Structure 1
């Protein structure tokens, strides 16, 4: 048994991909405990308006398919017990209406609030301790992987983690859209709220480094990063892409709301005073993050809007779709169609 557990720990920590580690955790527990359902939850927003992400869910059933996986779903109206269990970071065991055992285990060690939830016929005391141990190992290892996705200077997410977070955001949006279509079919075909891909660039940053030195330049980057981390929602993903360029994957909002938030941030930066340097401004370009388009195309669209801002005086915010509608930019089509490169 001890050798088997050791092998399970090795398998769990052999993954370098954060999503795969979660799958490995639930699969590992399934080797020791027969359960009907196992979930990994993340508390995104606590009281008074709680929101919880279902990072991963595994259902075990007798008919085909025997294992059903779901990922990246959001509970906007979660049960009070679920929120309390995650928020309190305390293990608890309850019995549901069907006489099944429900085990709640906090995932300690991780930076965010996570919990593991199992529904089974019965869970022995030994297995409860084993599940709690696996949850602790998962949390500690997850913290190591998350740290590897952070920019060393600013503490923001780094470029390496961008694609994974973009996929997560688009998957969550697709789930919301499907749910909306089931509840209000007439609204689903014309959704107003969309996720947005944003590029923010510091204006004339090279001059800051040339005049004040790279140490002062780093201080500007750090100060701006802290301002961004405090200004945008925790559910928005903020990245430092390199140099003076930052990327944000914004949670769904209307175009006008996205513009207002970004423009208010631009004004906030302009009105602030940075150590030694004084006034700093930023240029911003953003575009709709659509699941139907290639990731490269989404980035190119936001980049086109950014360069439009750069070419028209800087210290401004422009939306790619609006620029196309107004005839100020040509529409960026799929990269495969636009490319003149022969692949073979």
Structure 2
């Protein structure tokens, strides 16, 4: 038992990303405690609104079958889950059938950021100690991963994690693409939803640093990052690439939806008050994340769209696909071939 336990701890701490850590944690808890269902919930506070997401769930269907459920937003969290998130205290309820439901808070920098929910037969004292120990290991290692994946100033994801996160997104989109095509009988009526990558740059940021100093510049970056976290969904990926450059990766939506969302954000930045700066604006270049695109090509397309947005007056968004359509060669025009950029 002790040898197996040590092996599981080694396996948990061997992971290098949050997704792998979560799946390893749920498998380990099931192996040693035998729960019927285990779920990891994450919470984010945007303004006065609390958003709760079930990032991963593991359920035992029978002796040989299991079901994994990935990211799902919870529109109506249970009162017990909300109480656990607000109080950062363990909550346990046992039904008349002997089944126990337990919620264990997860904290980061002394703030509750989520909870692990367990459905199982009544747990013995030894099982409770073991469960709490696994949750503490997860919490401690999550802190380490968070520090490694996050930008020190803004708290957004950093440049080093971008390639891995985008690769995971593209791989997931390939699977979803096949499922959608298989399920869609009427392709003509199907409204395409894809992921999008936006590259954002603060307009004339060098003037802010030159005029007011880097301390003021850092404050501007921090306020902008906080504005992004409050405005965009918790499932969207927000990166600081360095300096005044940011990258945003959105969950699958239509072109019209992402265009409206980004236009609203550009307008919000325009209205936001920053220290010393009378008016701050951003330029954004956007590219589609196709299921078979190379990450480097997606990033290059967004960068070209960003360049076009800046060249055409800044304080606006530009889509790479719109640029390509503008430069499409008329039918019958052979020409010598002109590079788009």
Give the aligned partner of residue 141 of structure 1.
141
Is residue 2:72 matched to residue 1:74?
A: yes
Is residue 2:48 matched to residue 1:53?
A: no
User: What is the deviation of 1:139?
Assistant: 1.9
Give the aligned partner of residue 295 of structure 1.
295
Give the aligned partner of residue 152 of structure 1.
152
2:102 maps to which of 104, 110, 114: 104
Is residue 2:263 matched to residue 1:255?
A: no
Provide closer, same or farther for how the CA distance between residues 82 and 168 of structure 1 changes in structure 2, counting only shifts above 3 A: farther
Whether the aligned pair in 1 keeps the contact of 2:105 and 2:114 (CA below 8 Å) is yes
Secondary structure in structure 2 of the residue aligned to 1:152:
coil
Provide closer, same or farther for how the CA distance between residues 22 and 226 of structure 1 changes in structure 2, counting only shifts above 3 A: closer
Secondary structure in structure 1 of the residue aligned to 2:163:
helix
User: What is the deviation of 1:287?
Assistant: 1.5
User: What is the deviation of 1:300?
Assistant: 1.4
Secondary structure in structure 2 of the residue aligned to 1:216:
helix
Whether the aligned pair in 2 keeps the contact of 1:86 and 1:113 (CA below 8 Å) is no
User: What is the deviation of 1:239?
Assistant: 1.2
Secondary structure in structure 1 of the residue aligned to 2:68:
strand
Provide closer, same or farther for how the CA distance between residues 254 and 243 of structure 1 changes in structure 2, counting only shifts above 3 A: same
User: What is the deviation of 1:212?
Assistant: 3.8
User: What is the deviation of 1:294?
Assistant: 1.6
Provide closer, same or farther for how the CA distance between residues 30 and 149 of structure 1 changes in structure 2, counting only shifts above 3 A: same
User: What is the deviation of 1:187?
Assistant: 6.9
Give the aligned partner of residue 244 of structure 1.
244
Give the aligned partner of residue 235 of structure 1.
235
Unaligned runs of 5+ in 1: 330-344
User: What is the deviation of 1:177?
Assistant: 6.4
Unaligned runs of 5+ in 2: 330-341
Whether the aligned pair in 2 keeps the contact of 1:42 and 1:55 (CA below 8 Å) is no
Give the aligned partner of residue 337 of structure 1.
none
Cα distance per residue 1:116-171 (max 9 Å; x no partner): 34455664332133212211321232123112221112222211222344355556
User: What is the deviation of 1:199?
Assistant: 0.6
**Number of equivalenced pairs:** 324
Provide closer, same or farther for how the CA distance between residues 94 and 229 of structure 1 changes in structure 2, counting only shifts above 3 A: same
CA RMSD of aligned residues (A): 3.9
CA–CA distance in structure 1, aligned partners of residues 245 and 159 of structure 2: 11
Q: TM-score, normalised by structure 1?
A: 0.75
User: What is the deviation of 1:297?
Assistant: 1.7
Provide closer, same or farther for how the CA distance between residues 77 and 206 of structure 1 changes in structure 2, counting only shifts above 3 A: closer
Q: TM-score, normalised by structure 2?
A: 0.76
Provide closer, same or farther for how the CA distance between residues 82 and 216 of structure 1 changes in structure 2, counting only shifts above 3 A: closer
CA–CA distance in structure 1, aligned partners of residues 211 and 73 of structure 2: 50
Whether the aligned pair in 2 keeps the contact of 1:37 and 1:119 (CA below 8 Å) is yes
Provide closer, same or farther for how the CA distance between residues 257 and 306 of structure 1 changes in structure 2, counting only shifts above 3 A: same
Give the aligned partner of residue 224 of structure 1.
224
